[in-house]
Amino acid sequence: MSGEFVTLTYNLDAQIGESSACATALLCGVKANFETVGLDINGKFSNCASSFKARVDSLIDWAQHEGMANIIRTQILGHFFEDKNFKLRHFFKGKATGLVTNTRVTHATPAAAYAHSASRYWEDDAKIPPLSRRSCKDIARQLVEDEPGRNINVST
């Protein structure tokens, strides 16, 4: 193994990639449907109910939780590794996490690091359809209230 990898970041249901599904592929290791964030193939665009069982963990989750070390040990961004010495477990265990972005932190690309949303456009509750607001949190609320977002170190 030379240490070089190619990652394809196309969408599952579209010929052209867009930032939310491509960021999900890069940061979560799974291909995603067009305009969804942090969801696997079962997450359907703008379908709140489809997001509940489609959520996938990201690199931020893996870095924050010791319990996720087994996932890191076996798969990173879709590539499988054997690490019998648990070097990756110790590398990722308990790391401080943060985001660096030149756009809104709730924008589709950085949101894939911490959010799970059936629509990249659900950045605030005004953009979620009224019937879905009780069951689906907007991306900003997920950053503040849910893991791993609430554990991300923020500085100004």
Is pLDDT above 90 for 83?
A: no
The parent domain of residue 127 ranges over 19-147
Identify whether 109 is part of a domain. yes
In this predicted structure, which of 2-16, 21-35, 91-105, 139-153 has the lowest mean pLDDT? Answer: 2-16
Identify whether 107 is part of a domain. yes
Of the residues 19, 51, 117, 132, only one is catalytic, namely: 19
* Binding annotation: 107, 109
Identify whether 69 is part of a domain. yes
Report whether 38 contacts 55 (CB < 8 A): yes
Length of the chain: 156
Q: What sign does the CA torsion over 14, 17, 18, 22 have?
A: positive
Per-residue model confidence (pLDDT) at position 92: 61
* pLDDT band at residue 123 under the 50/70/90 scheme: very high
Identify whether 139 is part of a domain. yes
* Binding annotation for Mg(2+): 107, 109
Query: Is residue 19 flagged as an active site residue?
Result: yes
Identify whether 63 is part of a domain. yes
